[in-house]
Amino acid sequence: MTQNRQKWFNVEGNLTFGSLIEGLNGSPYKEDNQIGFDVLEIQPKKIFARYIECQKITEELRHPFGEIETVSSIKYVIFHFETIPLNKNSFLIKVINPPISLKGFVNALSTLFQGDFSISKVPIDVEDFFSYLIKSNTGGRYSVEKLLVSSIPFGEKTVAAISLKSTDNAYKEFKNRHTDNKYKIEKISIMLRFNAEWERITISSSGLIICSSSLNFLVEKYITNNQMGVFAPALGGENLRE
């Protein structure tokens, strides 16, 4: 059960889907450019591509007897991403196995959009996402292995956070003791019986989703429909350019 990490972003700007394709194709990675894109596949409503960045790193090493040596090395940042149009000038971007920093990627997108764009994380309501998965997997068995909950009232001016582990259903056990909605689920890890196989998915309020490729279409459907207002009005995301 191979899993990948993914994060989703909202992008709005002055490009249409067609002009975005042209921009990505017109900005390939080159040795003399060091930042660029590699378009792998184009579908009517999706672009599959790679982002490639070459980073030159220079360090100073001090030897035991005081000599200082400058050492240079090269690091490549490479990851796959997918782009889905929502309407004429807005898109969803799924970054697969994202690095710690996406600054170079955001700057490269800014160049494509000629600076006239905004990018923000897609907000994740963990409890709503969990409910959607269970309803979508009608009749399938599941267990909630881990649950991280915050903002639980503990006193007049005090809140608590708890981390639960279970071989059955940590969410059900938590709800049996906390019948109100005065809490926030930060992370949930679920095992689903899906297409005769056990699949694991972890959902975090930070926007990070970890799952196997078998569950990708369920994740994509939830994110896309939510951002288009099919399930609920889209929530405001954190702007990455601020």
Does the pLDDT of residue 119 top 90, yes or no?
yes
DSSP 8-state class, residue 238: P
Q: Quickly name the fold that domain 3-121 has.
A: Double Stranded RNA Binding Domain (3.30.160)
Degrees to nearest 5, angle at CA 59 with 57 and 61: 155
Rounded to an integer, what distance in angstroms lies between the CA atom of residue 230 and that of residue 164? Answer: 32
Question: HEC states along the chain?
Answer: CCEEEEEEEEEEECCCHHHHHHHHHCCECCCCCCEEEEEEEEECCEEEEEEEEEEEEEEEEECCCCCEEEEEEEEEEEEEEEEEEEECCEEEEEEECCCCCCHHHHHHHHHHCCCCEEEEECCCCHHHHHHHHHHHCCCCCEEEEEEEEEEEEEECCEEEEEEEECCCEHHHHHHHHCCCCCCEEEEEEEEEEECCEEEEEEEECCCCEEEEHHHHHHHHHHHHHHHCCCCCCCCCCCECCC
Task: Output phi, psi for 137, to 5 deg.
Answer: -95, 60
The mean pLDDT of the chain is: 89
Rounded to an integer, what distance in angstroms lies between the CA atom of residue 123 and that of residue 135? Answer: 21
Rounded to an integer, what distance in angstroms lies between the CA atom of residue 8 and that of residue 129? Answer: 14
Is 211 in contact with 219 (CB distance < 8 Å)? Answer: yes
pLDDT of residue 238: 44
Tokens of 3: 């899993």
- State pLDDT tens for residues 173-225: 999 988 888 899 999 999 998 888 899 999 999 999 999 989 999 999 999 99
Question: Among 1-5, 126-130, 160-164, which is the least confidently predicted range?
Answer: 1-5
DSSP 8-state class, residue 214: G
Residues 6 or more apart whose CB falls under 8 angstroms from that of 50 comprise 37, 38, 40, 78, 79, 80, 81
Is 223 in contact with 212 (CB distance < 8 Å)? Answer: no
- State pLDDT tens for residues 71-109: 888 999 999 999 999 988 899 999 999 999 999 999 999
Domain boundaries of the chain, sorted by first residue? 3-121, 126-205
Amino acid identity, residue 202?
A: T
Q: What's the pTM?
A: 0.86
